Amino acid sequence: MRELFIAALAFSLFIVCPRMAGMTNVIASSTNVNIIEVAVAGSLLAIPFVVAMVLIYSRYGLFAALIFAVVTDLLSALVIREISFKAGIETLIIALFVMLGVKVASYVSQLI
């Protein structure tokens, strides 16, 4: 049980990022919904997507998980009707940097 708590705590701290806060603000502003309500309800609705991402990554690897992440980003933009060519390009560039970062981190950690 202790191991699960430590792993879950580490995960919960890891998934918090400025990009998520920024997108929560954009979504709340676009929909006129309270930002705290968006954060709480969105976090609950995200649970199956997080599980899917983990399963996709564990079964099919980083590239497949990255495709899933890009698709969910684009669907989010579509849902709030703020999708644009620029947003699509930005999402793809961010995805490439994430993939590069994962590969570099793995390589560097093996050197240590």
Q: What is the pLDDT along the chain (112 residues), one digit of tens a residue?
A: 899 999 999 988 888 888 788 888 877 877 788 999 999 999 999 999 999 999 999 999 988 998 898 888 778 877 776 656 666 677 677 777 877 888 898 899 999 8
Residue 100's Cα: distance from chain center in Å? 16
Q: Nearest-5° angle of CA 57, CA 63, CA 65? A: 40
- Spatial CA neighbour of 92 closest among 60, 111, 70: 70
Query: pTM higher than 0.85 for the full model?
Result: no
Rounded to whole angstroms, how far apart are CA atoms 65 and 41? 23
